Structure 1
């Protein structure tokens, strides 16, 4: 039996029960009517008549919620179909304003020990599970990623970064990285990526164009005399973009190869101080936002990032399509390191616990209106007929018992009133 059929059988059974109780009251009234002259016959007749009235009244009330009784357009009936749009709006408002609030989510999420859940999940995950997941994703990516996927992703990330303040997020990420000793690895990793990329002629040329753009931008902001000196140095070949790029390449290589490199140490010091400065110095945060906007809006940077995205997509597809993907092996190794770190590092789990809970509350606060609107549109999409059917399927038993109770309670009330009448006659 299907679920739809199963859900309709109990209401039909209870409907027959309610109708049977009402007909029993009618039958009792018919039988007791000839005996109404006796005290007990009148009492039984009063019980039966009151039961019939109570049953009919509750039948009318229940029916009036969903439709017009007997099809008659009686005022204030068919309440749910007539007020369905208002009800849908009220449901969305109630959920959005009174249920799904940041305070409620924060209170409920605070009861969940996310750190313990992360620890247990990390302990249960096996290397074979990571290999299976990464292999599945790699095969899908090699087969399904379109050529412009990387460019579209980069464009989406650029729009996201332009729309949101980056200083608070940067401060939080740098603080977590420094606390767990990841800042040195971040410096080395980013420098290594740039060193490898600068060995490609197309990337090197794009960086040279970026250097020209930066020099030109600063020259425009300077006064006439410094600008003239820079222009003269450029004409005489003292400012050579290829030499600048080569110097940058050499400096980055030293950062990668030498842990005691002065530039590397200075970068580590700057990264350690930057979170506190970003929070305490509004001017610095404003400069970071301005630099972000200028960098992301620069035509040279846009071309550079798009070229890198196209090359990255091509390299990824070639690597993931091979039988022994280096990227997949690297991802498995990194995921295994993260798993082991989460399983063993209690401080990291507590940081993740706080961050996830804060993000959950922030997401609710940010999308509260959208969630309420989504719920309202979902309820409204049911339509009046669908809403009536849904309520009757889920509350059909209780609705029929209201009719049964109306008959029973009406009969008891009628019997009690007639009993008082008999007592008063005896007095």
Structure 2
């Protein structure tokens, strides 16, 4: 395209020179023909055309440089008025073509959120987005330095454990025990274990031995002591143990019945003690102290390091699993995009924010447009700047020369004809 423009400029300049040459040649050629009326007429036309062409050539040349290199006053107007010209260009660009108001008016007509959503909807299923998500996620995980992260995690974990009040744990456990009847299950478990123990033969003998030893240690007065000794003479470990074993198993069996008053009394007592434990500040303080001591003595560093390294490796494997993008990330993004699309209020707020940021950016940097134009113009020397102007308007300027020659020729014919008439 630059080549075509250069050729057109050359053609128009060449045409202007040809027109001037024709006028000069015509003037010289008609000089011997002054005796004929038509020769005088043509000479008058060519003479005026030559004067008009030369005058316009002088005017056009004087606009850019000194004609024939002579420092004639009021020539080379553009180089002499370079500062005024560049200031005018900067002013036009900054204050008219790219004024703050015009830029802001154009910006206000653009719905950036609509364009963003449109582009996002087109790209949400693209392979490039999938690869981008995997790449960004992988880089993010790879940059996690476990060695630096462990002390932070350990510090926060210890802080959280120290600040955690065990009273809530105790209250929660008690509520669960009562609601899910763990107290009854615990009692039944104890009764079953005691019953299992009570049915053993060795248990019967042990109970008999313990009972006889207890009877031997009883000291009574007079006839009561005699009666006790008489009673002991009829019993041995096996008989007395069997009686006590049967009594124990009978009591245990009745305790398993839900309507047994003894069972009910025990469970009621257990529930009362559990409820008291909720407000037992001494016990809660002791539990908290044990918890704090456990946290203080616990070595978390290696366990956290192993856990975080394992989690990092697992995350990297999962990132490369197609399910990561297709099942989790892309549906999540699509759902967010759909919700955003339907939330007109949020879209308007986002649009307002974007426009406000652009407006602030324009307000803060608009002067830089003029500075940038001025800076680029200042980089050009006079010859380069003049060539640029000539390249832009050279064709029209050369046509001024052509028109000057042609119009001068026509006016010359007219003036010569008028001289004859008058």
**TM-score, normalized by length of structure 1?**
0.51
* Closer, same or farther: CA 202–392 of 1 in aligned 2, 3 Å: same
Q: How does 1:234-249 map to 2 (within 5 A)?
A: 246=163
Query: Residue 45 of structure 1 corresponds to which residue in structure 2?
Result: 43
**8 Å contact 2:16–2:399 — kept in the other structure?**
yes
Q: Is residue 80 from structure 1 mapped to residue 75 from structure 2 by the alignment?
A: no
Q: Is residue 71 from structure 1 mapped to residue 69 from structure 2 by the alignment?
A: yes
* Closer, same or farther: CA 336–420 of 1 in aligned 2, 3 Å: farther
1:330-366 Cα deviation digits (max 9, x unpaired):
9867754554445444444444433333333322221
* Closer, same or farther: CA 202–62 of 1 in aligned 2, 3 Å: same
Query: Residue 29 of structure 1 corresponds to which residue in structure 2?
Result: 27
Structure 1 spans left out of the alignment, 5+ residues: 148-198, 208-240, 248-314
**8 Å contact 2:100–2:362 — kept in the other structure?**
yes
* Cα distance between partner residues in 1 of 2:344 and 2:122: 17
Q: Post-superposition shift, 1:376?
A: 0.9
1:370-416 Cα deviation digits (max 9, x unpaired):
22111110122222222222223333322222221121122223333
Q: Which moved more, 1:51-60 or 1:87-96?
A: 87-96
Q: Secondary structure at the match of 1:75?
A: coil
Structure 2 spans left out of the alignment, 5+ residues: 165-308
Q: Post-superposition shift, 1:113?
A: 4.4
Q: Secondary structure at the match of 2:380?
A: helix
**8 Å contact 2:124–2:330 — kept in the other structure?**
no
Q: 1:392 aligns with which of 390, 393, 406?
A: 390
Query: Residue 362 of structure 1 corresponds to which residue in structure 2?
Result: 360
* Cα distance between partner residues in 2 of 1:139 and 1:53: 81
* Cα distance between partner residues in 2 of 1:323 and 1:84: 67
Query: Residue 130 of structure 2 corresponds to which residue in structure 1?
Result: 131
**8 Å contact 1:88–1:376 — kept in the other structure?**
yes
1:164-212 Cα deviation digits (max 9, x unpaired):
xxxxxxxxxxxxxxxxxxxxxxxxxxxxxxxxxxx9544887x9xxxxx
- How many residues in Structure 1 have an aligned counterpart in Structure 2? 266
Q: Is residue 372 from structure 1 mapped to residue 370 from structure 2 by the alignment?
A: yes
Q: Post-superposition shift, 1:245?
A: 9.0
Query: Residue 151 of structure 1 corresponds to which residue in structure 2?
Result: none
Q: How does 1:116-265 map to 2 (within 5 A)?
A: 116-128=114-126, 129-134=128-133, 201-202=151-152, 246=163
**TM-score, normalized by length of structure 2?**
0.51
Q: 1:108 aligns with which of 89, 106, 109?
A: 106
* Cα distance between partner residues in 2 of 1:42 and 1:50: 12
Query: Residue 214 of structure 1 corresponds to which residue in structure 2?
Result: none
Q: Post-superposition shift, 1:55?
A: 1.2
* Cα distance between partner residues in 2 of 1:340 and 1:365: 34
Q: Secondary structure at the match of 1:382?
A: coil
* Cα distance between partner residues in 1 of 2:383 and 2:141: 47
* Closer, same or farther: CA 138–415 of 1 in aligned 2, 3 Å: farther
* Closer, same or farther: CA 109–30 of 1 in aligned 2, 3 Å: same
Query: Residue 305 of structure 1 corresponds to which residue in structure 2?
Result: none
Query: Residue 8 of structure 1 corresponds to which residue in structure 2?
Result: 6
User: Who wins on radius of gyration, i.e. which is larger?
Assistant: 2
* Cα distance between partner residues in 1 of 2:20 and 2:84: 35
Q: 2:94 aligns with which of 84, 93, 96?
A: 96
1:99-156 Cα deviation digits (max 9, x unpaired):
333322222233334454344333332332423445676799999x9x9xxxxxxxxx
Q: How does 1:268-347 map to 2 (within 5 A)?
A: 336-337=334-335, 339-347=337-345
Query: Residue 15 of structure 2 corresponds to which residue in structure 1?
Result: 17
